[in-house]
A and B are shown apart, each in its own frame.
Chain A
Amino acid sequence: MKHKTFFWFFLPTALAMFLFIALPLTSIVSQSLHTPHDAVLVVVESCDPFGCKSETTIDHEASKQIKEEQPKGKWVGFEIYTDRNHLAFKEVGELWENKTNFIDFVSNLNNLPFYRAMGFTLTYVIVVTPLVILFGLIIALAVNSLHRHLKGLMVFFSLLPMIVTPLVGSLILFWMIDARGIIGSGLQELFADPTLSLKASTGLTWITLIVYGVWHSAPFAFIVFYAGLQTVPKETLESAMIDGATRFQQVMHVVIPHLSPLVAFVALIQLMDNFRVFEPIVGFSAEAHATSLSWIIWNDIGQEIRLLSSAATTSVLTIIGVVILLLPVLIRTWREFNPEK
């Protein structure tokens, strides 16, 4: 392609990327380096149905002038990044110095919101991603071996968990696993433990969220692998059969190597998606047991307190986290497409 043709071809994409990716990113980074100005507080008389008293409030007239002089807010550099509610350098340092053993250090780390969120998020990513790939592959192989009349129907049903809106799907499951819900009371019967509750313990909540995550994302892996299975060369499979390979050996030595670029693709998307786990935490009301960076952002800006700088900082940290997580896969893909000469 000529450079000029390429330029015109790529221009709309570049514009969209600039508008919708680069600009918001700049804005977030700038926001995370500024905080609101110091509030000018005044004590005034305030009256409501319960009587009058002196109450502290914000003096908007006085605040206005400061705001107009520096509309971006107060420059604080990386202060928000290192404060207790984010990377908490000082607190982590103190914990490290005062630790009695390593386990004690890790459990204390869990009291800091950022590390608490990372603890769950990383567990979720590490467990859910491989399971989604595994189940996706198994479902794809199973559906592919069905009679052609059944395939369409099965593809549709297998995709259902992904079609359901995550928040709605998790809410439905939330009520089903309630101690009085069908799954919850079924489990109580099964384990003969009438006090069993999936929502009351951290461990069981994590398992519930992980099972939900696999249930929700496996269809995505399935449909990608299913498409890939349609391109497996028949000749190679037949020659493997002639050589006496079992079905399992055929899958291991012919199908999976053929699908490996797709595995990398699914892993890439899933790592990114799972790192941003959010809806199930809200849907399952699991914030007492599990939080994630996305949940922290939502909690900061979703409430009346509106900690915008804090939310911006967590957003930047999320992006950095995604990049770190994807590096191995990206490097691998780069090498595959640029073999050494």
Chain B
Amino acid sequence: MFLRKIATVVALTTLASSAWAGCGISEGRVSIVGNEFPAIQTIGAGAMECAGDGVTVETNLTADHQKINLPGMTGNPAEFTSAIVANSSIVALMNNDVIRPLNDLVAKHGQGLQKSQLVTIDGNIMGIAFMANAQHLTYRSDVLKDQRLSPPTTYEEMLVAAAKIRKSGLMQNPVGGAYKAGWNLAEEFVNMYMGHGGEFFKPGTAEIAVNNQQGVDSLNMMKSLSEYMNPDFLTHDSNATSAEWKAGNVALMNMWGSRIGALRGDEVDAAVVAATATGGPMTVGGGSTAASTLWWDGWTVAKNISDADAEATFIAMMHAIRPEMLNDTTSPQAVWLIDGYEPTPAAAGVFAAAAMGTKPYPMLPYAGLMHSAAGAELVDFMQGKETAEQALAGLEAAYTTAAKEKGYL
């Protein structure tokens, strides 16, 4: 029995490695770093198919990818030949000049690409986008039906629904949210602030401008929502929030489109799976802009590597996003920007976000500094230790100090 298993594994490996011929790479080194969620794992596995004689393909897919991709691409030769990034994280790589323009490789090998997939900065193609993502409403249809509630379209309605569910005794903390101190909390602030129609910077400058009425309203709404969340919300990232959902503890949440498929996993109670429904992003404060941001995920090629490695990397990544990779398993994993993609029910939320004209996350060189400062400075307000104005003043001061150090101010 055991031997047979081994034989199967060996056979599969041989099959996988004999597939390299299909990629058309004769030699080169491919090393991919990226985030860890089902769609990106599919891309990683797709590129791995190109491994074979003279071609090595490695992937390092981890939630900590933003901490390692820049250091791993700064050296010469770079450790990673490709980083899978999003519209926020490509900025850090461009700021440090570690990724190369892909115009020549796109001309040579990029026939299957659609124009919208090319991330172009001043004429230089810096990345190839393969999926879109956004946070949007996810709700439990059974709980809402039981309480005769319709799915909320605004955060105010979400609060009303949450109060009603709590009062009914069905759930003590019906709202879920990735409010972990740091990146996640800051992301929720960005969403809410955009929903209130706020601008993060004074036009045309790197001067921050969030200590205003929109900022205060955003924080107050986040605070009101957190009162219906698990009291540990400041330690919950997207993974922990998904776990709360799967355990059936939560009825309403703002969640990433790319994680909806996993909420319907085999390990989850069938009743929860059947009742997991999605809607578009919510608006807030009477505004018409969605309190959410649009994201693309795409891949880049490192600058500090040989042309042969760059070409091998480009071909392997093109292989990973070829139209044939779409099937019943991979299609629901994301909103693919790949030619031939047919939307699945899991994609409804992201499409609704795009249809509503949700704004993309800002691709500014200093947006990351603002995001990082928000993640650290807003926690005292969320714990009721300071006022919204104090928290926003702290955020502005922390950002300004960091932006001066980085030479943006």
Contacts and interface: CB of A to CB of B under 8 A. Distances in A.
Contact of B390 (A36, A111, A179, A286): A111
Interface string A61-96: 000000000000010000010011100000100000
B365 A304 contact: no
A37 interface: yes
Given A44-B121, A84-B397, A178-B232, A58 B95 contact: yes
Interface string B115-157: 0111111110000010010000000000000000000000000
Interface centre among A48, A111, A178, A287 (most CB of B within 10 A): A48
Interface string A287-309: 11100000000010011111101
A38 B407 contact: yes
Interface centre among A50, A111, A178, A197 (most CB of B within 10 A): A50
Contact of B404 (A45, A49, A83): A83
A39 B296 contact: no
Contact of A50 (B360, B368, B397, B404): B360
A310 B405 CA distance: 8
Interface string A307-336: 101100000000000000000000000000
Interface residues of B, number: 64
A207 B15 CA distance: 55
B227 to A, nearest CB: 12
A197 to B, nearest CB: 5
A43 B123 CA distance: 13
B215 interface: no
Given A304-B66, A304-B89, A310-B402, A199 B232 contact: yes
A57 interface: yes
B231 A197 contact: yes
B320 interface: no
A166 interface: no
Contacts of A42: 122
B407 A37 contact: yes
Contacts of B408: 39, 41
Contact of B368 (A85, A111, A304): A304
Interface stretch (B103-111, B160-168, B274-282, B375-383): B375-383
B363 interface: yes
A199 B235 contact: yes
5 contacts: A113-B398, A284-B235, A288-B379, A304-B66, A307-B405
Interface of A: 35-39, 41-50, 52, 55-58, 60, 74, 80, 83-85, 91, 111, 113, 178-180, 195, 197, 199-200, 202, 284-289, 299, 302-307, 309-310
Given A41-B365, A44-B122, A49-B337, 17 more contacts: A38-B407, A46-B119, A48-B296, A50-B294, A55-B121, A55-B364, A57-B121, A57-B365, A58-B365, A83-B401, A83-B405, A179-B230, A199-B234, A288-B234, A299-B372, A307-B406, A310-B405
The 9 closest A-B pairs by CB, nearest first: A304-B92, A44-B122, A288-B181, A285-B235, A200-B231, A288-B234, A38-B407, A288-B379, A199-B232
